[in-house]
Chains A and B, each alone.
Chain A
């Protein structure tokens, strides 16, 4: 079990503070690292990978710092964003080379296993220059998995993959996470992050804005009323009732039903069923409108202040 620990980590370049006093723990399972462009995610990943030293603070992977520590690469696997693969090698050659670099006892077998994990067995003997973007991505993941690392760092892992490849990669990562590996990946595609990871870490302008399960994070945003879409057999009547409830701050009648703003999420969610029942109104649909990762993310970014265009 390898845990990534950061304590008061900062990293600056002259006047630019890329990472600003971040304390976080990343444990087994899949964690998504999110943030707008320029938030410091790549710097963070580079530090964890041992390519950069923190300017201040402590950063350890499995208890030991990753900076100036080549041994860490036994336990760490990396898939950076840049497409830096030797195109003249075949897939198999590339992964085997990676296995040899890790001084594995049986590089060929390790390579074969890794290639199978990413379902590239069919294409492994073709030159990487003939691969599509998604295939290149997969072979790079194989290269990073070949030594069975405890910790896997991926930067935009789904880039260029078609839907089938994406789903497969998501399953792969999810599976690895379930089996106790620590996986940290950064991505802009929130709908996928939502699917694969249990935990998220959100960075905004170098600081850690939020950590944890995004739904739990949403519940913590008590200053923002939760927005629900409610569809019933008699919207106006239930709307009138709802507006009379203290948990509700707003009801709007739209073509698709009622948009209800609930300042007290807990109370509202407990009373909606009973309220409709007591009025003899059929409750057909209740949808949380702003609980998706995308909404939560937007709120977190916004909370930091208005963005300059």
Chain B
């Protein structure tokens, strides 16, 4: 290479009457390289953005935005109601948050978006390109899981925060604010459980197929069927009339069947865990009472199965 390259590098113009050919040849990379952690982080951010359709065009953003908006709606309505009628108890609780709406919104979100993170890559057979890079085989599902959990967290927690803000803005005095804060914390904790379990379920089911439509179907059907079945079981098992809050009138403790009926649906398992951990607001299932611990166990079991399933799936598929 000619000495002129030095001049070119320093950005000075060549002298009149002379010329320089700049070296556009291949350049080696001598800079920093991120290790596994950096790569996982990059894949995490990339996947988190996919979960909301960012970087994919307008159509991909429709479902996640709609579901997010749907989730925020109760918080906004509540804020308006509380502002207009101060002193009225809030419409929405932090820990149950409209227990008929939230499962539906999350079902749609998870069923629509989990395939975006996982099924796409399977369909386009891009995994060998990941595996041939300096990451371990399970780093890929790990990054995806972290990203989707974060995505679900956003969709679950932000409405709670909105709810909180809406309440304290209209709150009368410091003690009211404090009461709201004390109610918020466990609510956010429950949302974390929701995010963790639903993300795992969504991803492991989506990883079964490269076809996004099938994956969405599988997830939606699983979540919806178990939810319906569970509700039916619970109400069948309960004798006598059922009040508006779901607890049979005239009895303090629901029959065992009703208390166990929630175990088959992830949404109801989550509610069971909430109640077991001390949540008192009424929810979709009657208070589990003595069998509350089963809900805790079921939560962990479901989570473990999903994680194991993901690991097994990607150990096999990554060898492509």
Direct contact of A and B (CB under 8 A): no
Residue numbers of A with Cβ under 8 A of B are none
- B interface list, Cβ under 8 A from A: none
